Each structure stands twice: as structure tokens, then as C-alpha cells.
Amino acid sequence: MCGIFGIFGHEEAANLTYLGLHALQHRGQESAGIVSSDGQKLHAHREMGLVGEAFSAEKLAKLSGRAAIGQVRYSTAGASKLENAQPFMVEYVGGGLAIAHNGNLVNAERLRRELEEKGAIFQSDSDTEAIIHLTAHSRAASLEEKIADALRRAQGAYSLLFLSEKQLIAVRDSYGFRPLVLGRLKNAYVLASETTALDLIEAELIREIEPGELVVIDKAGLRSSHPFPPTRLGRCIFEHVYFAKPDSMLFGLSVYEVRKKLGMQLAREHPATADLVTAVPDSGVPAAIGYAQVSGIPYDVGLIRSHYVGRTFIEPQQSIRHFGVKLKLSAVRQVLKGKRVVVVDDSIVRGTTSRKIVKMIKAAGASEVHLRISSPPTRWPCYYGIDTPSRQELIASNHSVEEIARYVTADSLGYLSMEGLGEAVQDKSASTFCNACFSGNYLTENFLTKTLSPPETPERSRVVSA
């Protein structure tokens, strides 16, 4: 996952991009980068680490000009290196070009192979580099046509920002997998993955960039086109479930309100007899509050999250025990002791963390732990930009809910149904969202080598007593 931000027409373009990236930091903590344009030339700085670590006042000052784009990138194992940090910046036949990408192409390997056969060289592991090659190879006349040309060949998820010396171009794939919004700050146009970045810099939200839309911003103003064949919508449901920041408006809905409704619906689908409802912080909090309101069981804080577990914290090597989640969460003994506890989390991936949390709550004295998950079982890997493990590692793809409950040592376990999920996002049939991680119904063909077994009939999610 990544967060992207762009601005055109403001004298503090790089400074505002820096702030905008800070607001999007939850979307990626591995690396941060900004490319600015002074109208004649692009200027770049990329570095590993958080936005606040990657940029100093001195480095920002070098990023001159009234237009800029930036990216924060998520840390995925093995590829954490500066070569992969974005925005990429290249020179091509048209001059300088920078690109910031949120999403993932499913035909990246095929494109790469084809491009290499034509003589292209790749300096990163990233699928984004293929997009730049395709753009540079296009015979179309203008940059926007080249980009459209290139992206007609790309399949998968992309919200993209391009910066040339003279233009800022924003594109979103026709499925609309990843978010991208347009705002205005005085005379400047602003683009961001989420509205929280607009709010921070006090920019006004104009609208979403539409799925399949290509927007060009330059001195002449803003013009929009829809150069791609239309498809059904496939907006990522998991952005609402987990990924986006709760204060953002996403796909027209309040993330916070959606999450609270997920919890409300969860309370209806999987009630529990309990003394209190608590959340796995921070992502589980809105759903837990919703669960508490519908169930009438009081909400309380049974788990505290530490603010200080960053990238630099390393467990002592010699140590016999593995501390893991304990370094991040601590249980409030006096709240939990002797209580029947409903714990609300957004999802279960491998099950190992959930198991540790349930055990921690029991060690703090809870008499019963009822785990409630505000989404259906995660059974399928995402090929559209969320970092999920393979089917083998996803506990729900090869275990029943009963088995999972037993593994995580919960007294009961309830997952939200697909219907309940659809309800919360005001799309019962879920025909405008991608829910492949739950259903296996991928919206695109997949050409990645990470092989994919055919979707099994997903068993109905239900409460089980362990």
C-alpha cells in the first residue's frame, strides 16, 4: 500500500506535499519521496523512513517550484530498498517525468517481459517502472495521450500521479480500486489518496477522481477525459474495513461511520452475553463502539496501544521469550478481571496475533473472550495493492471458523457476513466494490506467478462455541 499526494499552482508546493504525506503516513512507513517542478526542471528527494525522518528543512528548501507530487510507501518484506522508493523520476523523449503510484498491476510480469524483449532495462522491482516504460515507448503526441496509451495495456489497480515540467496528471483505473480525491487550496489544485490530507492543509474537497478518469492540470487549468474502456466498479472494500484513516471520506462514505455500522451489524449477526465490549486498538475502535451501542453492553478500553513501537525497536536477541504483540498492546487488568469480554477486531490474517491477544486478555483475568471480526473471513490474497500473505498462510482459507476459534483460544468467534458488510457500505449486492479477499471473485485475470487456486465455496460465517 501507498499514499500519494500532488499539488499544482502553489508557491509552497513541496512544503504542502510534505504535510500531505504526513497526513497519509498510515498508508506507508517504509520510504517517503517528493518531486517538485519549477516549470523548467524537476527536483527530487527520496529516503527510507517516515516523512519526518526523510525530510529536513534544508532538503525541502531544495524542492523548488509551484508543483509537486509525493509518495509514502509501505514496507513489504525483501523489497525494502531505496531503489524502490517513489516517486520515480526519469528523463524520456519528452523531458523529465516523475510518477507516484498506489496500487498493483496484475500483468506487471508479462509487461516487463515484453518490454525487456524490446530492450528495456529495469532498475527496480516495482511494477510502476513498467508504466513509465510504456509511457516513454508510446508514439502518441502528448504526454496525456502517451499515458493513456500506456495504461490501456496495464491491468490491475492504479491511482497515479505524474509530474512533468509543465503538467500534473492524475489517473485512476476504471475499477476504481484505490481512492484518489481532488481538492482546491486557493488557486491550487490538490490531489490525495484520502481527504484527511486535504483537511490537514485546509484544502477544500471538490470531488473524487472518477474511476477511469484522466485529469490534466497545467497553466490552462484542469481538463478531464475518460480514455479507458468502462468496466464494472471494484472499489476496495478493505480500505473501509481497515486501511483508510477514520476521519477520511472514502468513495463518498465516512470511513468512521462505515466501521461503526460494521460493528452494529456484527452485534446483530453475532450477539454475545458479556459484561463489556472492547476493541483491538486502533483499527477496531469504531466497530467496537458500534457493537456496544447496538448490543447495549458497555464499551470500555481493555487494551492500550503503545505509541512508541516504531521501526527502530528491536527485541533483545538473547531473550528467551518472544514479546511480539505485547510490546505494542497492554491489557488493562482492572477492566478485564472476572469479566465476560467481547473483543472486536477488523480481521484475522494468520491468526497468530489474534491468539496472542486473546491469551493476553485471559491472562489479565477475563472469564470469557468472545472475538468478533467486523468483516468476513479473509480467505484470498489481494492482487490489487494490499499486502496479504498467500492462501497457505491465511488461516481462514484452510480452516473452519470452529477451528480458528479453537486456535485463537476464543470462547466464541463471529465474523461479519458478506451481506452485513454490503449493508454498511450501502451496496447490498456489493456490485460496486471489490471483495475478492473475502470471496475470491477477482475482477481481473491474474498473470502473476504467485499462483492462485480456484475459489472454493466460502462457508457461511457464523458464531461457533469452542
Half-sphere exposure of 82 (CA within 13 A, CB side): 5
Touching a copy of itself, residues 7-46 (CB under 8 A):
12, 14-15, 18-19, 22-23, 25-26, 29
Touching a copy of itself, residues 90-109 (CB under 8 A):
90-93, 97
Identified binder of a copy of itself from the candidate list 40, 142, 322, 323, rule CB under 8 A: 323
Closest to a copy of itself by CB, 102 or 128: 128
278: Cβ–Cβ under 8 A, 6 or more apart, which residues? 288, 299, 300, 301, 302, 303, 335, 336, 341, 342, 343, 344
Closest to a copy of itself by CB, 400 or 426: 426
Segment lying near a copy of itself (by CB under 8 A), choices 53-61, 350-358, 378-386, 393-401: 53-61
Tell me, yes or no, if 382 is annotated catalytic.
no
DSSP H or E run through 15 = helix 13-23
Please give the Cα distance from 79 to 146 (Å, whole number): 29
Segment lying near a copy of itself (by CB under 8 A), choices 216-224, 249-257, 368-376, 386-394: 249-257
82 binds a copy of itself (CB under 8 A): yes
Identified binder of a copy of itself from the candidate list 75, 80, 166, 200, rule CB under 8 A: 200
Identified binder of a copy of itself from the candidate list 75, 80, 225, 254, rule CB under 8 A: 254
Give me the helices (H) in 338-411, please: 352-363, 401-408
Phi, psi of 386 (to 5 degrees): -95, 135
Q: Which of 181, 202, 200 is nearest to 191 (CA)?
A: 181
Longest dimension (CA), the chain: 72
Of residues 2, 236, 434, 437, which has the active-site annotation?
2
Shortest separation between residue 304's beta carbon and a copy of itself, angstroms: 5
Shortest separation between residue 358's beta carbon and a copy of itself, angstroms: 17
Residue reference for cell 478531464: 224
Touching a copy of itself, residues 256-315 (CB under 8 A):
256-257, 260, 282, 285-286, 289, 293, 298-301, 304, 306-310, 312-314
Number of residues that bind a copy of itself (CB under 8 A): 86
64 binds a copy of itself (CB under 8 A): no
Q: Nearest 10 degrees: CA dihedral of 140, 173, 223, 160?
A: -80
317 binds a copy of itself (CB under 8 A): yes
Phi, psi of 61 (to 5 degrees): -65, -25
The identity of residue 21, as a single letter, is L
Residues taking part in catalysis = 2
